[in-house]
Amino acid sequence: MLELIKLTHTNIYNIYYEDTDFSGFVYHANYLKFFERSRSDLMGISALKELFDAGYHFVVSKAVLDFKAPARFGEQIIVDTHAEFTRSPRVHIKHILKNSSQITLVIGEITLAMLDKHNKPARIPDNFLIYLKHKNNS
């Protein structure tokens, strides 16, 4: 039986004009794209592809965004991602998006659900959890 596995990861992104709305602020839905990229990097793109090839995939079952201040065109942002994995189909992830001055701009709390090839909830496969545990220790 595998215990709780906690992972953290940090990504840095540039804010391009295409990320913003007419005000020069990042368009609200684009924060979800930054969070998705950060989750993929946290878990490992090749590991996620292997999961998919084995008939498993994650879907977002809940997303809560708390906007504190806008990210702006030309800035760099930092996304700290914290995730907790067990065998449960649910994974809770917290994203904290800051600017280069370390001011928190957006907090995202995302719940993922693991589905099998029939799109039914499934426990996270042990081999993926072992990979995450090893990744956490390296």
Q: List the domain boundaries for the chain.
A: 10-137
Helix axes 30-43 and 45-53, enclosed angle (nearest 10): 80
Residue 93 CA to residue 64 CA, distance in Å, equals: 11
Examine the pLDDT at 1 and tell me if it is beyond 90: no
For the whole model, what pTM was predicted?
0.93
Residue 90 CA to residue 121 CA, distance in Å, equals: 9
Residue 60 CA to residue 23 CA, distance in Å, equals: 29
Query: Which residues participate in catalysis according to the annotation?
Result: 21
66, two tokens: 């708390």
Tens digits of residue pLDDT in 41-95? 999 999 999 999 999 999 999 999 999 999 999 999 999 999 999 999 999 999 9
Residue 95 CA to residue 107 CA, distance in Å, equals: 6
Instruction: State residue 3's pLDDT score.
Output: 84
- Ramachandran area for residue 44 (φ above 0: left; ψ -120 to 50: alpha; else beta): left
Superfamily of domain 10-137: Hotdog Thioesterase (3.10.129.10)
Examine the pLDDT at 136 and tell me if it is beyond 80: no
* Mean pLDDT of all residues belonging to the chain: 95
Half-sphere exposure of 137 (CA within 13 A, CB side): 7
